[in-house]
A and B are shown apart, each in its own frame.
Chain A
């Protein structure tokens, strides 16, 4: 791998992620509209939103950490995207691996938490407390899934994992080999995306959108970008672990959109769980599934 090639990949991968993320956001809104029997937004609406937010005249900053928090939220995901192999591009996936990726994706959350903290708005702090609690909930099944996958493929390297599945065909896909873990992973993914019924940390009516309460203009714009990346990251990670990764762009994107569509569709037909109920739910079913899946995988 020569330097220029790598540099191009490192630039392209976040860009692709951003564009696909915009598409995923659009899909999410369209699905919501379908379920609620609305028309839904036009194709470029997510982009318009971002441009609008960044271009706002009134931008309120509560201090340096508030700004840096947003930078970290976006920058962390940009870095994470370079560790996710996509068709034709591996970036630095072989230098980081599955475990590192899981931890790097916590950086944006940390940035957000720091930024919100400086806003000195109790609603924001409450939102972060809840978001962190939710993280404690869904990360437990998630790491079980990661462990199972890494054990099954004998590698922590996402490139290897994808390659192994592509070699073996559909019968060798993670989802076929480890259906229980795939199910647990889907559950964890749903919670990770923070969609209903797991969005107590936003709770607009109760804590005024929690972490977003002091965010406007480019701050909210940053969070919007972060959401694009988040949807993309979750989708690609799942596809790479369970659905054979990307043989080519068409099938890859199809799979990513399909994966993200599942939690998004489910989201809009659910009400919201309280924090303690969320914990009980996530610590019960997906964890049991994950443990059973690992037991099967290691048998």
Chain B
């Protein structure tokens, strides 16, 4: 029994246990343990492991093999499920069940997602890729649909997107098979090189477009924020951490393994100037900028983070599209980094929701004293998300920026920096409106979330910080994944990368930073004691303020900025979506008209006459 067999069995077993015991509360801890076991199996696995089951389609053997590239994503997937199920295992789960929700459904959905993702990540041909893809789509639908009516609406909005993507992939699959005669990804890569460009274009567009839907790539991103944000807490964290990265996994597979970096320049739009690569880079850049600025306008913490999740996907794709060792390493590493800080962020938001009952950024504030650990988690998380040192998000973004600089792509560089700046603004608003500023009177007696929830949050924080300080920990996996996928491999050190033209050593940067903080602290605490005021003892505009006067500055936080860029929010994508939906609706009405005709007999005769007419005139 190979390592992959064991892993898939363990994963399927988790699903079975979730289905059987999911409703039994004491078993909740079991799932965390089961995911931990899966993680252990994954880490023990050799370079590439094949699953024993295989079957034959069109005379070709179909099966599963997990290589280092898939394993990189698999580790993140199982890790995210581990953290999320841990979060759900204690008081959160009890409360969830008390509110008449099905804990069994939640655990089953999570286990199904993990199993489906593992199958996708281990696919080695078009059929298994599509099977995995569809399973992932519908497993995440299951997760999305669990969170009540609003969630169901968001999930139903997801269905046409997901199906559209899946059908594009299916179309590409059957045409690839028809044109090259193979389903195997390796053979396909060889034969695609000899395919005529027009057909290669069709395949590339269908595959990338189809997979891009899941990733929330522009213009297929509208479904994602709502669908993720409305899922039940740990589900949101899990989906936000990894689900949409499956799209990135597949796109990178198509770009690097099927089309290959050498074949990519052949796909041109304006020969010599603009091709698929440039187009994708720009789509990635727009995916960074536009969703980030949509996030800036959100007033619900979950939606804000979910929109950022879409935007961050752009960095990953951009890094991979640039395609050099540093850029693609940055892109891949960002998958890991994003998963860790995004999970931490969502969990901290849900810790706040657990205590206060709301994620509305206009109804929170000042919770820092009440929930210090949740605050710490969110602080670490937003520094990671914004991509500032010393957290891991900085390193991966730095690699992407650096490769854009080295490759001379100023406008893409600018776009990615604009995305980062927008993120800084938006996450500060998130943190400020939740934890800083005025404490509301109804939140005065709130306690910190229980340990079952804070421990996974803090564990994620540790990872975010540790892999920011010693990025070599992750870059090792990244380098293996690069090698397995066929990308140039990054030459890394524990602290980052070395280069005569400007490397990065995070060990030093973080060391110096904390040295600086130490000196700052010495200066600060050396200079006389300060008097600590009570949190509610405030004064502004010449008045002492009590808790019942609300003066938290939260709504329209960046009023000046919005004054300037507000008119730029046109909602063009939403408009296009509703226009398309109206068009389908109109066509559907017309079609119903066809079936509502009063004299079908006449219609039948007319058809017969027309058919005969066709024969005669042919």
Contact = CB atoms under 8 A, between A and B. Distances in A.
B540 interface: yes
B351 to A, nearest CB: 18
A226 to B, nearest CB: 9
Interface stretch (A75-83, A236-244, A253-261): A75-83
Nearest to B404: A147
A56 interface: yes
Interface stretch (A154-162, A166-174, A262-270): A154-162
B508 A95 contact: yes
A149 to B, nearest CB: 10
A107 B513 contact: yes
A294 interface: yes
Contacts of B539: 121
B369 A63 contact: yes
Nearest to B560: A275
B496 to A, nearest CB: 8
A59 B410 contact: no
A230 B98 CA distance: 54
Contacts of B437: 117, 120, 122, 125
A234 interface: no
Nearest to A57: B528
Contact of A140 (B417, B439, B533): B417
A97 B513 contact: no
Contacts of B424: 106, 110, 132, 135-136
Nearest to A109: B424
Contacts of B375: 65
Interface in B343-373: 366, 368-369
A72 B535 contact: no
A26 interface: no
A203 to B, nearest CB: 11
Given A71-B517, A140-B414, A133 B560 contact: yes
B505 A55 contact: no
B13 interface: no
A60 B530 contact: yes
B405 A147 contact: yes
A31 to B, nearest CB: 28
A46 B420 CA distance: 35
A62 to B, nearest CB: 6
Contacts of A144: 410, 414
B383 interface: yes
A94 B425 CA distance: 30
A99 B564 contact: no
A interface bracket (residues with beta carbon within 8 Å of B): 35 or more
Contact of B502 (A73, A132, A133, A156): A156
Contacts of A14: 516, 519
B185 to A, nearest CB: 36
A67 B428 contact: no
Contacts of A196: none
A122 B551 contact: yes
Contact of B388 (A103, A121, A139, A160): A103
A61 interface: yes
B459 interface: no
B402 A107 contact: no
Contacts of B530: 59-61, 67, 217-219
A200 B533 CA distance: 29
Contact of A128 (B410, B428, B535, B540): B428
A83 B510 CA distance: 12
A75 B438 contact: no
A211 B437 CA distance: 13
A121 B540 contact: yes
Contact of B553 (A63, A125, A222): A125
A275 B428 contact: no
B521 interface: yes
Contacts of A123: 540-541
Contact of B405 (A73, A118, A151): A151
B181 to A, nearest CB: 45
26 contacts: A14-B516, A54-B523, A59-B529, A60-B530, A62-B532, A62-B535, A63-B533, A63-B535, A67-B524, A75-B515, A79-B512, A79-B513, A79-B515, A94-B502, A96-B509, A104-B513, A106-B388, A120-B436, A125-B432, A126-B553, A133-B560, A136-B424, A140-B417, A140-B418, A143-B414, A150-B405
Interface of B: 366, 368-369, 375, 379, 383, 387-389, 394, 398, 401-402, 405, 408, 410, 413-414, 417-418, 421-422, 424-425, 428-429, 431-432, 435-439, 495, 499-505, 508-509, 512-521, 523-524, 527-533, 535, 538-541, 551-553, 557-561, 563-565
5 closest A-B pairs by beta carbon, nearest first, are: A275-B560, A156-B502, A117-B436, A75-B520, A59-B530
